[in-house]
Amino acid sequence: MIRLPWNSLRMRLLAGTSLAIAVVLTLLGVAVYLSVKHALFSQLESELRVKANALAAMTEQTRHGIKFDADLEQMPEFSTSKRPQYFQLRTASGQVIARSTSLGKTDLPLSPPDDSIHELKLPDGRHGRSLTIQFTPASEREDEDEGASATSPHAVAQITVARDTLEVHSALEMLHGLLVGLCAGAIVASGTTLLLVVHFGLRPVVRVSDQIAALSETELSSRITETGLPAELRPMVERLNGLLQRLAAAFERERAFTADVAHELRTPLSALLTTLDVCRSRPRTSAEYEASLDKSRDLTQRLKSMVQNLLTMARAEAGQLTRSHTSVELCQLLHECWSPFQERAEMRKLQVQWTKPTACPIETDSDKLRIVLTNLLDNAVSYANDDGTITVAILQRAQGPVEIEVANTGNQIPAENMPQVFERFWRSDSSRSETGVHCGLGLSLCLRLSKVMGIGLQAETRPPDWFVVSLSIPGGDHNFGK
């Protein structure tokens, strides 16, 4: 049994198509009915015109007046007692010259002689049609030969012929009933056929609907089957499967993010608690307390930095960060960002090489660019090998963007893993041996801030062991000092 909920797509298609078929069949039936009706009444008009012309041909004009010379016995339709026909011959002044036996002493209504059909009520009460023509009767030959006439040779006569329309109306009633029956039967038959066609045609939609209804929020790995789908449904299913895939990936990233945050916070928090527990385990000197406080402050600062980076990235991903434009001296900004890392670079005996003009003014968001440059320099100092090299270069092509390259030796990341360096909490050491020292948020934060500022950012490896991060700052023609 086919279920037909009133608000279902199947019912809407069935009702809409059935209504359209009913309208088309009704209009077709009306057109057929009107065409047949016009043909029947045209035939009736032709018959009346033929009879009127035949009766006019039997009318002559003599010297004594208009003479009707016809043998009515040869025209029994004008004298029969059952459904008789009628005619009446008059002069132009209205004088009756002849009438059919069926009229008796009754006159037919005088209609305009305009050769058109008129409806009327016949003497016996039946509904009928009449035709009146005006003509000039032919003169008798002997009168013409004698060249004399008692009446005007141009006398005008009118003849009216009438008959009932019972046969026409009976045929129209029969046709009306036949058309109504045929249209009703066709509508029922087409509705039944459409019910089956719509049912089988919508099976792919029902199948997709059932699969969507079976999806669970806890199991996003399921996909809608695309086999056998019509062309209209395939794009929707492809988009839905893509959405499910992105949702599954988003939930997986959320789970991984939660685990990574918990892992990253656990180590510094554990170290902080250990430091505090050791500090209060026994009385200590002022210097030992100060050392414990400094270590605790350093750990707290790292936690604050991690939380601040996470908050900034969340705001960037939510589109809540706006870009400002200020004039920035890039060379000076780079040195300011480098200052906090200079001592650590010297302790690790890193060689720092600068390639830059004496001045490089640009228009950009100075606060966000400062965060990006600070993270890039911190990353270079942290991951360069001992006694290695760091290069910082500001490059400018003619009429092109300003490019900043920060590179360091000691790279151990394979080239195929380079796209991952911008992911949150990703580090090349899978064992996370440096948890609590580097949380893996620097490059990810740089990427999101660069997108907000409209700056290009990419990372690559260069032989033999260089890790290079490039910034491309649009700005057109810049005034570089030499």
Q: Measured between alpha carbons, how far is 426 from 260 in angstroms, rounded to an integer?
A: 9
- Residues 360-373: what's their mean pLDDT? 89
Is residue 430 domain-shared with residue 292, that is, in the same domain? no
Phi/psi for 467 (5° steps) reads -115, 120
Q: Which CATH number goes with the domain that contains 158?
A: 3.30.450
Nearest CA to 446 out of 363, 380, 357 is that of 380
- Residues 144-171: what's their mean pLDDT? 75
pLDDT digits (tens, 9 = 90+) for 257-304: 676 667 667 767 888 888 888 888 888 888 888 888 888 888 788 778
Is residue 17 domain-shared with residue 70, that is, in the same domain? yes
pLDDT at 38 over 90: yes
Which range has the worst mean pLDDT, 62-71, 327-336, 360-369?
A: 62-71
Higher pLDDT, 253 or 137: 137
User: Which tokens belong to 162?
Assistant: 């009438």
Is there a domain that residue 199 lies in? no
Q: At which of 172, 187, 208 does a domain end?
A: 172
- Residues 415-433: what's their mean pLDDT? 67
| In contact, 137 and 66? CB cutoff 8 Å | yes
User: Which tokens belong to 404?
Assistant: 């900043």
Q: Measured between alpha carbons, how far is 70 from 72 in angstroms, rounded to an integer?
A: 6
pLDDT for the residue numbered 440: 62
Higher pLDDT, 69 or 390: 390
Is there a domain that residue 193 lies in? no
Q: Which CATH number goes with the domain that contains 313?
A: 1.10.287.130
Is residue 143 domain-shared with residue 264, that is, in the same domain? no
pLDDT digits (tens, 9 = 90+) for 203-260: 888 888 888 888 877 777 788 888 888 888 888 888 888 888 888 887 777 776 676 6
- Residues 464-482: what's their mean pLDDT? 73
pLDDT at 405 over 70: yes
- Residues 120-131: what's their mean pLDDT? 90
Nearest CA to 16 out of 206, 232, 179, 24 is that of 24
Is residue 165 domain-shared with residue 20, that is, in the same domain? yes
Higher pLDDT, 304 or 430: 304
**Percent of the chain residues past pLDDT 90, beyond the cut:** 29
Is there a domain that residue 46 lies in? yes
* Block residue for tokens 């089957």: 225
Is residue 311 domain-shared with residue 332, that is, in the same domain? no
pLDDT at 434 over 50: no
Q: Measured between alpha carbons, how far is 350 from 387 in angstroms, rounded to an integer?
A: 5
Is residue 32 domain-shared with residue 168, that is, in the same domain? yes
- Residues 155-174: what's their mean pLDDT? 92
Cis status of the peptide bond prior to 361, with omega within 30 of 0 = no
- Residues 142-160: what's their mean pLDDT? 62
| In contact, 391 and 338? CB cutoff 8 Å | no
pLDDT for the residue numbered 6: 65
Q: At which of 134, 155, 172 does a domain end?
A: 172
Mean pLDDT, the chain, as a whole number? 83
pTM: 0.50
Is there a domain that residue 157 lies in? yes
User: What range does the domain containing 257 cover?
Assistant: 234-317
Is residue 86 domain-shared with residue 112, that is, in the same domain? yes
Is there a domain that residue 281 lies in? yes
pLDDT for the residue numbered 352: 94
pLDDT band of residue 323 (cuts 50, 70, 90) is confident
Higher pLDDT, 153 or 318: 318
Higher pLDDT, 421 or 159: 159
Is residue 335 domain-shared with residue 438, that is, in the same domain? yes
pLDDT at 392 over 90: yes
Which range has the worst mean pLDDT, 127-136, 240-249, 394-403?
A: 394-403
pLDDT at 433 over 70: no
pLDDT band of residue 437 (cuts 50, 70, 90) is very low
CB atoms within 10 A of CB 350: 22
pLDDT band of residue 420 (cuts 50, 70, 90) is confident
pLDDT for the residue numbered 300: 85
pLDDT at 9 over 50: yes
* Tally of domains in the chain: 3
- Residues 96-114: what's their mean pLDDT? 86
pLDDT at 354 over 90: yes
Higher pLDDT, 452 or 391: 391
Q: Which CATH number goes with the domain that contains 368?
A: 3.30.565.10
Is residue 371 domain-shared with residue 270, that is, in the same domain? no
Is residue 335 domain-shared with residue 455, that is, in the same domain? yes
Is there a domain that residue 187 lies in? no
Which range has the worst mean pLDDT, 123-137, 193-207, 257-271, 333-347?
A: 257-271
Is residue 339 domain-shared with residue 281, that is, in the same domain? no
pLDDT at 477 over 80: no
User: Which tokens belong to 423?
Assistant: 């992911």
pLDDT band of residue 479 (cuts 50, 70, 90) is very low
pLDDT for the residue numbered 475: 64
Is there a domain that residue 288 lies in? yes
Q: Measured between alpha carbons, how far is 370 from 471 in angstroms, rounded to an integer?
A: 13
Q: At which of 262, 297, 317 does a domain end?
A: 317
pLDDT for the residue numbered 446: 87
Is there a domain that residue 138 lies in? yes
Is residue 123 domain-shared with residue 24, that is, in the same domain? yes
